[in-house]
Amino acid sequence: MRFAINHITAPKLSLEQFFATARSLGLTEVEIRNDLPDIVGTVKPEAVKAAAEKSGVTIVSINALYPFNVWSGDLPSKAVALADYAAASGANALVMCPLNDGTKVSFDDLVAALRAMKPILEERGLTGLVEPLGFPVSSLRTKKEAVRAIDAAKGGAVYKLVHDTFHHHLAGETEFFPDRTGLVHISGVVDPAVAVEDMLDAHRVMVDASDRLENVPQIRALIAAGFDGPYSFEPFAEEVHALAHPEAAVRQSIGYVSSKL
């Protein structure tokens, strides 16, 4: 397995500290963000690229362009700016998340957005990582629908899926798309009281023996199907962000997952 780490796992660490932590864990693939923490808004892309090269890490993605499937207002200019930043920082891809507020977005609008984004990515040598969100309020819940839209937009050479174990579980999706997947996000939910339909980002912690999302079976299925890309830790829970020693928590989770495979 190729483990990776998303900066949201340890958002209190500076960029340089985050890269150093990844290397200390034996990892060479990382994801940076434009929200928590907002690296895109606070660090020049050239500085990000230099820090990554110095640390010996690869930036597999920047999270995230939102809401990518509503191609109106300032979204097109935001998309260009983020793609420019990604290219200048040496990142390989942009994560693209759909509108997630209960508003429906038509399939045609989804396809139109993918078509519009395609040349922006192509011109900069970037991959678009489409991440369906499994929440009941999400406008794009399943990978199956995302694949259908990517194919309708003739975007198979530019777009890959993010298989997020949390969203896969929430959407009740059973189908895997290993050949169409570019990145896997892993996180666990251990709260025994919360119903699946009520699970939120705030419930997402590191994966351990109490995990309710079936991370290990999902990972086994992806490996068996031939997926060989990175599995990136992406916990959103405040209790994870507040950890004094996030490296130890990641190391423990890596050990747990690895022991089950």
Determine the average pLDDT of the residues in 89-98.
98
Alpha-carbon 144 to chain mean position: 17
Query: Given this model, what pLDDT does residue 175 score?
Result: 97
Query: pLDDT, tens digit, for every residue of 191-237?
Result: 999 999 999 999 999 999 999 999 999 999 999 999 999 999 999 99
Joined together, the tokens standing for residue 161 give: 């899926």
Distance CA 40, CA 37 (A): 9
Write the CATH number for 166. Answer: 3.20.20.150
Domain that holds residue 234: 2-259
Task: Report the percentage of the chain scoring pLDDT > 90.
Answer: 100
HSE at residue 44, side-chain half, CA atoms within 13 A, is 3
What does DSSP say about strands 159-164 and 181-186: parallel, antiparallel, or unpaired?
parallel
How many domains is the chain built from? 1
Q: Rounded to whole angstroms, how far apart are CA atoms 151 and 196?
A: 30
What are the pLDDT digits (tens) for 17-46? 999 999 999 999 999 999 999 999 999 999
The predicted-structure confidence for 108-160, as pLDDT tens digits, reads as follows 999 999 999 999 999 999 999 999 999 999 999 999 999 999 999 999 999 99
- Nearest CA-CA partner of 97 in 80, 119, 75: 75
